[in-house]
């Protein structure tokens, strides 16, 4: 009986110590990544610049919570010449723990406009050019297809 009680106390104490140790080894790290997105968007049929094309950012591998359920964050739109110039400061967090690998640091840029098929671009931070702490995302020239041309 005494041995059984000792075993329960020892087991409970060991579990508490294990939880304390594992809790102390997880660090939540908050980071900011700055993106500068540029490019120009055109109608594929007419080759004319498209105005008011929404530019959205989707986290696919930075934040340990948001990248699991990616939602678009609107960060800008094209001007009357179809030019895109958006600067986005993305605040994100990840866990620094032995069971969690480093974040993938991947994202998508989505261009969307009513009556046009959206365009989606995948990026990996390690493959982007960088100017100090700013990552440059150059979309160059993007051609969007009107939806009525896709269905025909």
| Alpha carbon distances (Å) from 72 to 63, 76, 110, 132, 143 | 14, 12, 8, 26, 21
Task: Tell whether the model's pLDDT for residue 152 goes beyond 60.
Answer: no
pLDDT for the residue numbered 41: 98
Contact by Cβ (8 Å): 27, 96:
yes
Task: Read off the pLDDT of each residue in 102-116 and give the average, rounded to a whole number.
Answer: 94
pTM over 0.85, yes/no: no
Strands 129-131, 134-144: pairing kind: antiparallel
Using one digit for the tens of pLDDT, what is the confidence trace for 52-67? 999 999 999 998 888 8
Band (pLDDT 50/70/90 cuts) for residue 95 is: confident
**Is the separation of the CB atoms in 39 and 82 below 8 Å?**
no
| Mean per-residue pLDDT, 26-37 | 84
Length of the chain: 152
In angstroms, the CA 104 to CA 48 distance is 37
How far is Cα 118 from Cα 43, in angstroms, rounded to an integer? 12
């Amino acid at each position: 009986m005494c041995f059984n009680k000792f075993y329960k106390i020892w087991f409970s104490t060991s579990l508490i110590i294990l939880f304390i140790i594992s809790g102390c080894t997880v660090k939540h790290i908050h980071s900011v990544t700055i993106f500068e997105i540029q490019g120009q968007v055109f109608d594929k049929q007419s080759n004319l610049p498209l105005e008011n094309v929404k530019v959205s950012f989707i986290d696919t591998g930075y934040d340990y919570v948001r990248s699991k359920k990616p939602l678009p964050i609107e960060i800008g739109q094209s001007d009357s010449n179809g030019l895109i110039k958006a600067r986005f400061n993305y605040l994100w967090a990840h866990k620094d723990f032995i069971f969690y690998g480093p974040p993938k640091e991947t994202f998508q840029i989505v261009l969307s406009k009513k009556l046009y098929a959206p365009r989606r671009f995948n990026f990996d931070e390690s493959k982007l050019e960088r100017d100090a702490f700013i990552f440059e995302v150059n979309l160059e020239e993007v051609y969007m297809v009107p939806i009525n041309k896709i269905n025909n």
